[in-house]
Each structure stands twice: as C-alpha cells, then as structure tokens.
Chains A and B, each alone.
Chain A
Amino acid sequence: MNFAPLRRAGVYVFLSLAAFISVFPFYWMAVGSTNQSVDIVRGKLGFGGNLLVNFQHLMSQVDLYRVFGNSFLIAIISTVLTLAISSLAGYGFEMFRSRIRERIFELLLLLLSIPFAALMVPLFVMISRAQLTNTFTAVILPGIASIFMIFYFRQATKAFPRELRDAARVDGLKEWQIFLYVYMPTMRSTYAAATIIVFMNAWNNYLWPLIVLQTPDNKTITLVISTLTAAYTPDYGVILLTTVLATAPTLIIFFVLQRQFVQGMLGAVK
C-alpha cells in the first residue's frame, strides 16, 4: 500500500496547524484593535468599526508621540551601539591571534549562562550609584556589549575572506579603515540580521526599563501597554490597538531587511 499521499496530507495538516497557531494571534490583535472591549471579551473574530474610537481613547490616555519617540530613541541608539561594539569585538576575536584569546572568549560564553534576573539587582545598584536611574542611558548601557552578538559576529567573521584584509593592508589601509571601508560593507547581511535581532530586543525590552525608568514622560511603548492592562476595567480595544502600533516597527524592519536577514543568518558574504 502506498502511504505517500497519506504522509503528505499529514504534513499539510501539521503545517497548516502550525501556520494557524503562528498567525492567529496577529489576526486577533488586528481584529481586536477595530472592536469594542465588550466584543473582544465575547470572542468576536471579525473586524469591527471601532478603530478610530479606540485611537481617540488611546490618544487621550497616552502621549503617544512621546512614548514612541522614547522607544525609537532607545531602540535605535541601542542597535547602533550594540552593532558597533559587538562587531568590533567579533572582528577582533577572529582576526587577531593571541594565546589568551580563546580563554577570554570561553569566559564570555560562560557569562551567557547567567540569567538576567541574577544580574538585575547588582546592575540596578551600579546604575543607581552612577546616578543614572530614570535615564535612557540606564536602559541602553547594560545591553550594548551583548555577548550573544559578539559570538554571532565572531562566527560570521570566520566567513570574511582574510585576503580582503591583506589586500587592504597592501592598499595602505589602517586596521580601523579596513573595518570601516572593507569589513562593514562586505558583512552587510550580517549587520542586517543583527539589526533585526537587536532592534527587536531593544524595542520589546520590558523588565529592565520597568526597573530603571520611573517617570511617565520616560516610559516606552512596552511599559505603556502594561500600564493600560493594569486599569480597573481594561479597555481591550485600546490595548490591542497599542499592541498593533507597537508591533508595526519591528514588522516593517523585518520585511525591509528580510532578504539580508536570511543571508546573514546563513553566514553569506557576497
């Protein structure tokens, strides 16, 4: 008996189910943003006509421009600094020979196993002593030397042709010029993939900003969503609309950079 069609059907069912599980929350979020809270609680799954009302309610409760501005500022600065520092470190680890290089790298990887929860309190004490609480610097600073990103860049740098560096040295470039004018443009797929990962992490970061950002004028979009859910009678329409707005930038960045993201994750150097 030929089981191939049956197996194929099984695969389709499984993939359809997985696709549904992946996409449905986004659909429900989008639908919810157009409905009243009461409809959402009742489980209405079709689009409604309450989008503008929800938007007005949101604008009346939240200084949306400021909140988005805060989130963008933190995410963009975090991304730029994390990419700069991690790629420099990854480049250095891969390009320069040293007897203690691997020991230091192993130590860094070991540090990855320490959960953030264990670092939170000492980190807060440090930030507080540096009088940086309730500043964007406090949110950005602890994340910019990302060990995972250093590891990612070092692995990607293994695919960077060493002869390009040699050619650049013969052409008269200093090491920083090689990094800037040869390495960075050559590794743009890697940077694109890293941009998505770091930006999403910075944008979605909740716990650490919750701890260090204390005044409403400094709040980010993730903190605002949690504030909205904490109301006595939460307006789910408004909450889901805010969620849609909060998701949009990461989706846009992903779609713009998705080709490079795939190349970058595959370690392609073109």
Chain B
Amino acid sequence: MTSLSLKGIRKSYGTLPVIKGVDLTIDSREFVVFVGPSGCGKSTLLRMIAGLESITAGDLEIGGKRMNDVDPSKRGIAMVFQSYALYPHMTVRDNMGFALRFAGKPKDEIARQVAEAARILELGPLLDRLPGQLSGGQRQRVAIGRAIVRHPDVFLFDEPLSNLDAELRVHMRIELARLHRELQATIIYVTHDQVEAMTLADKIVVLREGEVSQVGTPLQLYDDPDNLFVAGFIGSPKMNFLAGEVVDSGAGSATIALVNHGGVRLTKPLGGRLPQKGERITIGIRPEHFGEAGEGTDIVLNVDVAEHLGSTTYVYANAGGEQLIIEREERHMGDTDTLAVSISPEAALLFDSAGKRLR
C-alpha cells in the first residue's frame, strides 16, 4: 500500500480560490476522513487527488511520485462516488470488470478478479443483474466492488453513504470498517457526517472554506479541538458555547465571568497565552461534561424539553438567551422547570474572540 502527500495544494476557478493551500500527509493503510460543512472543498480536494480536477498549484505525490498531471487511471487510485456511478446498461459483472477490460487484462483474469470481489462483498447472486434491479445498499456494494477489482493503492470514497437510509448507513459503515481491516488499504473518505468520520477514521481532516482547520485522531479532535469551528463541528450533540468575559488574568490562569448567567465566575488554569482583562471569551463544554450543582461553577437553566433515550437523557435548556444541551444519566428527569448544573474548569474549553483555543 501507498502513502500520499499534499504540499501547498491550491485550486481556483478563475479568480475564485476554493482550496487555499492544503498540506497533508497520509500514511500507508491509513483511513483518513475529510469532513466539513457543504462547500468547504472536501469533495474538490478528493477529486484533485483522483485527477478529476486539475491542481492550480502545489504538489500531489502518491507513493513518492508527483501525480499532478498524471491520468486518473494511472494514479493507482479507485473511486466510489456518491451516486455510485454504475454504468446503467451493464450487468454487475460487467460493471466490475469494465476497468480491467480497458486495462487489457485477459478474460479469465477479469473473471477471477470479479469473482474474488463478489465473494468479499457477497455479491455472487447479483452478478447478472443490472444496476436498476438492485437496492441502494447493493448498488453501493457493487460500486465498492468495482473499486476493489482494480487493486488500487488508494481508495477514494466521495460521500458514499449519503444516499442510503439511516439503518443501511450504519450497516454499510460497519462493512466499510471491516473492508478496511481486510484489505489493509489506504482510504480517503469524504463525508459531511461527523458520526461517520468519528466511527471510521484513523485520522480526521476537518476542512473549512478550503483550508484545513485541524488534523488529528477522532478523540484528539473531540477532546482537544484547536478552534471553535472544530469544537462545534465534531460531536453529536454539539458542544455548548457560553459567552464569557475575562475579569482577571495572570499567574497561569484566567477568571471568566459568564455574562449570560449572572456573572458567575470560572477560573481556568492556562499554560499558553493569557487573555487580556475585559477580553470576550467563548467557553465550550460538552453535554456530558456538566456536573452536579456544587461541583464547580454553578448555573441554573430553564428546561425546555427532556429527551429520554433509554441509556441517557438529553435536556434542552436555556438561560440568558443561550440554548444548551445537557446529558444526564438519570432515566427520568421528572417535570422539573429548572436545572442546576456545574461547569468544572477541567471540562471547560476556552476560545478567544477569533475562535482560537486558549490552552
């Protein structure tokens, strides 16, 4: 298998820049997920790696070779598309063997490769059907099979599960994880669904407006986001954000007043830059990190709705115009109108007015 490196990759349509300088290294056998909101350039970046979009500037190397101007079929990649892109007039067998046919492989070799891919994906009984006669999940498996038969160095997946229903998506997600383990392949996977990113990835690349916002393992991004965008994007339910103002700063800590909660104070030890007194700060806290009242900085919230999911309960509450989600372990919250919770300094993440993390 093969590693990839992107050095200062840029893409512009005329004067409009869409990828604004991406530097990234993807190791062999790594499952890397590009994630980000619609229009952030993740699919464009994937298509640039595939050779379906030209690279305006920078270097793309696959297996140590510069691939900027190499034909897509000669880059050692295979791609699975969002709409599956199966040739509608060909049977599953022909779809899977099509690339090999054009690569000039002998018929018995093609048949062997197709049979092997069909075995891995349990497509045997469907080989003589047309794509129109298959369900969404089956089509997706054929699209993956078409990629497998080529034995590519790198698999590229462009939002492959977004056309499937919720149940099938979970099933295919597990299938993909199994496939990655079985094939030991380098995979680059694009999705806007952060749950897919968290569950599948060895490494997540969060993109925003054509730039890499942060790269890291799923838990790194979850526990230790670099900025407000990543903190808000990764995690479901989302991280809560509370407005704060620095009232004291010095000696390795900052004291923040929660402006929408009666000015209650939170003192957070910081190792890096200390914010100025009076500076506006955003405090981020995950729904599961709120403590019982009395354990830290207490705030009182008005409960809107409590969702009982069985194992856990999500409380949707508000205070001072801020909407918050709190995860509780109690199965029954009762008909409480208010809820007192605490924020511990360890659980609270601070972000400056530019959205950059203060550590």
Contacts and interface: CB of A to CB of B under 8 A. Distances in A.
Contacts of A111: none
B103 A170 contact: no
Contacts of A161: 83, 85
How many of chain A's residues touch chain B, expressed as a range? Answer: 10 to 19
B87 A186 contact: yes
B175 to A, nearest CB: 20
Contact of A166 (B52, B74, B87): B52
B13 to A, nearest CB: 9
Given A163-B81, A163-B82, A177-B102, A170 B87 contact: no
A269 interface: yes
Interface residues of B, number: 25
Interface in A134-191: 161, 163-164, 166-173, 177, 182, 185-186, 188
Contact of B102 (A173, A186, A270): A173
Q: Which of A161, A166, A185 has the most CB of B within 10 A?
A: A166
Contacts of A163: 81-83, 85
A172 B102 contact: yes
A172 B99 contact: yes
Contacts of A167: 79, 81, 85-87, 146
B229 interface: no
B88 A170 contact: no
Contacts of A168: 87
B50 A269 contact: no
Contacts of A177: 102
A164 B89 CA distance: 12
A171 B132 contact: no
A192 B40 CA distance: 41
B88 A270 contact: yes
Nearest to B156: A170
A67 to B, nearest CB: 38
Interface in B94-113: 98-99, 102-103
Contacts of A269: 88
Contacts of B37: none
A161 B50 CA distance: 18
A170 B77 contact: yes
A182 B101 CA distance: 14
A170 B89 contact: no
A259 to B, nearest CB: 15
A185 B89 contact: yes
- The 6 A-B residue pairs with the shortest CB-CB distance in the complex, in nearest-first order: A172-B73, A171-B99, A167-B85, A163-B85, A185-B89, A163-B81
Given A169-B52, A173-B73, 10 more contacts: A163-B81, A164-B87, A166-B50, A169-B51, A169-B73, A170-B51, A173-B102, A177-B102, A182-B87, A269-B88
